[in-house]
Amino acid sequence: MQQLWVGIDAGKTHHHAVVIDSDATRLLSRRVLNDEAVLKSLIDDVLGIADGGQVVWAVDLNSGGAALLTAMLAAGRQTLMYIPGRIVHHAAGGYRGDGKTDAKDAAIIADQARIRRDLQPMRVDDEIAVQLGILTSRRTDLMRDRTRSINRLRALLSTYFPALERALDLSNVKGALILLTGYSTPGAIRTIGPTSLEAWLRKRKAYNASGLAAVAAEAALAQTIRVRGEAVAAQVVSSMATDVLDLGARLAALDGTIEAVFKSHASAAILESMPGIGPLLGAEMVAATGGDVSVFGTADRFAAVAGLAPAPRDSGRISGNLRRPRRYDRRLLRVAYLSAQLSVRSCSESRVYYERKRAEGKRHTQAVLALARRRSNVLWAMLRDGTTYRPGSSACTGGCVTPAAA
């Protein structure tokens, strides 16, 4: 029996696997199709070479094309390590040769798994966490599509009707988009008049129809010149406004689905009890952590992964130089920052801590990050112990910014 290390350079359609022993001797090098039958054959061959010995698998992707392989290894109770591609890239400089091939990368992955002692087994996310990861990623895509569409709509509207573009809040007011689906030129708005326009908006359930009609009428009176191409541009604006409204409806439906799935997770009540965390931010937290914070080990490690623990950059006689780490989970940082910012409004202890940091001369962003760092200790302890947040209780002495059991 011998211990083997298997490095997998993962891809979308094919993977390359290299097996090495304790002396870094290559025992197998194979390019395999990302197919269940082919991957099962590879796993069986590697286990056959090991002949009952321990096998450690390492891969440079933890999602995407490596998902099938990861699921098969988890089902077979195999030890799997994750080595990010960035680490593989930097490690390649310490190996002979300047060439780059999938086989070389797989060998480097296997050798890094053999010699490193700081790697942790890849966690297997629970079913709800995986679902929330898919749903929140989709929500991010729709939000970006909506933002891009609104920016393009504003740019086009400003070319022929700048007064109306300045007057409308297209990002936050649904009624403004409803207005543009039917009336987006000075002449059309002047023709219908504010009274009829208000009735038209009310019929389509636009909020503050009278205010919108008045704003549109005022903008139309301010511009009497007709810009060339106005008619075609207005048609495109109407179509784009309809698309943005459709994206808004799809986002609302998706938010409902995310909330329903999130509510079914065991940590939902704990996360929502924390000031500043609602269903959407809670869903992102579950998706980012895989539904289990125990994999981080300590509250400090949890904060470091979230990008809330500064990393030292000391050299020579320079010391105490702290900066944000280069590698951190941006989803966790987003949840931590936004929830801390929201908690300033809803949690008196957070407000006091934030104001103290501001009084010390910190900028708004710095004060919120400091608050997020303190809150991460409490959140980690709550999830570890399975307890909800209770203001002023012994479980969270000093409120929502003072760690107790962390």
Residue-wise pLDDT tens digits, 228-249: 999 999 999 999 999 999 999 9
d(CA 331, CA 306): 8
Amino acid at 107: A
Position 4 pLDDT exceeds 80:
yes
Over range 172-178, report the average pLDDT.
93
Which amino acid belongs to residue 104? K
pLDDT band at residue 196 using 50, 70 and 90 as cut-offs: very high
- CA distance readout (Å), 293 to 53, 101, 176, 296, 404: 31, 36, 43, 6, 17
Q: Is the pLDDT of residue 400 over 60?
A: no
Nearest-Å Rg of the Cα atoms of the chain is 28
Distance CA 129, CA 289 (A): 8
CB 29 within 8 A of CB 106: yes
Residue 263 CA to residue 286 CA, distance in Å, equals: 11
Average pLDDT along the chain = 90
Q: What is the pLDDT of residue 394?
A: 37
